[in-house]
Amino acid sequence: MKKIEKALAQYWGFETFLPLQRQAMECISRGTDSVVVLPTGGGKSLCFQAPAVTMPGLAVVVSPLISLMKDQVDALKECGVAAERIDSSLSVSQQNNVFARINQNELKLLYLSPERLLSGNFLAVLRKANLSFIAIDEAHCVSMWGHDFRPEYRQLGSLKELFGDITIAAYTATATDHVRGDIAEQLKLKNPQILVGSFDRPNLVYKVQPRNNITKQVCSVIDRHKGESGIIYCIRRKDVDGICAQLESKGYSVAPYHAGMNAADRKKNQDMFITEKVDIIVATVAFGMGIDKSNVRYVIHTGMPKSLEHYQQESGRGGRDGLEAECSLFYSGGDYGTWKSLMRDMPTEAYKIAMVKLGNMYNYCTAGVCRHKAILKYFGQNIDTDSCNACDMCLGEFEYIDDALIIAQKILSCIVRLEQMFGGSYVALVLIGSKDKRIIENSHDMLSTYGLLSDYSKHTVRDWIEQLTGQDYIEKYGEYNVLGVTEKGRTVLKGLQTPRLLKPVVQKAKVKLSKAVTDSWEGVDKELFEALRKLRSTIAGKKKIPAYVVFGDAALRDMARKRPASLDTFLDVKGVGEKKYKKYGETFIAAIKDYCFEHSLDMDVEGY
| CATH numeric code, 404-493 | 1.10.10.10
Q: What Rg value do the Cα atoms of the chain yield, rounded?
A: 26
Residue 130 clears pLDDT 50, i.e. is over it: yes
Residue 465 clears pLDDT 70, i.e. is over it: yes
- Which residue ranges make up each domain of the chain? 2-196, 204-378, 404-493, 521-598
Phi, then psi, of 131 in degrees rounded to 5: -80, 135
Beta bridge partners of 529: none
Report the DSSP pairing between strands 296-301 and 325-331.
Answer: parallel
Cα–Cα distance, 432 to 498 (Å, whole number)? 22
Listed as own residue / partner, the contacts of 542-548 with beta carbons closer than 8 Å and 24 or more positions apart are 544/275, 545/74, 545/78, 545/275, 546/71, 546/74, 546/274, 546/275, 546/276, 546/293, 547/275, 547/276, 547/295, 548/293, 548/294, 548/295, 548/321
What three-state secondary structure class fits 60? strand
Cα–Cα distance, 61 to 111 (Å, whole number)? 5
Q: Do domains 2-196 and 204-378 have the same CATH topology?
A: yes
Instruction: Answer whether 360's CB lies under 8 Å from 308's CB.
Output: yes
pLDDT given for residue 509 in this prediction: 47
Residue 508 clears pLDDT 50, i.e. is over it: no
pLDDT given for residue 355 in this prediction: 86
* pLDDT tens, residue by residue, 215-265: 999 999 999 999 999 999 999 999 999 999 999 999 999 999 988 889 889
Instruction: Answer whether 575's CB lies under 8 Å from 557's CB.
Output: no
Average pLDDT, whole number, for the chain? 89
- 3-state DSSP percent of the chain in helix, strand and coil, to 5: 45, 10, 40
Residue 505 clears pLDDT 60, i.e. is over it: no
Cα–Cα distance, 442 to 119 (Å, whole number)? 65
Residue closest to 378 by CA, chosen among 325, 309, 436: 309
Classified by CATH at the fold level, domain 2-196 comes out as Rossmann fold (3.40.50)
What three-state secondary structure class fits 559? helix
Top-ranked range on mean pLDDT: pick from 170-179, 382-391, 414-423: 414-423
Local confidence band at 39 (pLDDT 50, 70, 90 cut-offs): confident
Instruction: Answer whether 113's CB lies under 8 Å from 63's CB.
Output: yes
Instruction: Answer whether 434's CB lies under 8 Å from 452's CB.
Output: no
Beta bridge partners of 14: none
What three-state secondary structure class fits 211? coil
Residue 146 clears pLDDT 50, i.e. is over it: yes
pLDDT given for residue 463 in this prediction: 86
pTM of model > 0.75 = no
Cα–Cα distance, 205 to 193 (Å, whole number)? 32
Beta bridge partners of 62: 112, 136
pLDDT given for residue 176 in this prediction: 79
Local confidence band at 40 (pLDDT 50, 70, 90 cut-offs): confident
| C-alpha dihedral sign at 271, 276, 277, 281 | positive
Distant-in-sequence, close-in-space partners of 371: CB < 8 Å, separation ≥ 6:
206, 207, 208, 364, 388, 391, 392, 393
The total of other beta-carbon atoms located within 10 Å of residue 348's CB is 7
Classified by CATH at the fold level, domain 204-378 comes out as Rossmann fold (3.40.50)
**Can you give the length of the chain in residues?**
608
Cα–Cα distance, 86 to 84 (Å, whole number)? 7
Phi, then psi, of 85 in degrees rounded to 5: -135, 155
| CATH numeric code, 521-598 | 1.10.150.80
Local confidence band at 118 (pLDDT 50, 70, 90 cut-offs): confident
Angle of CA points 277, 279, 284, to nearest 5°: 110
One-letter amino acid identity for 497?
Q
pLDDT given for residue 507 in this prediction: 44
pLDDT given for residue 516 in this prediction: 63
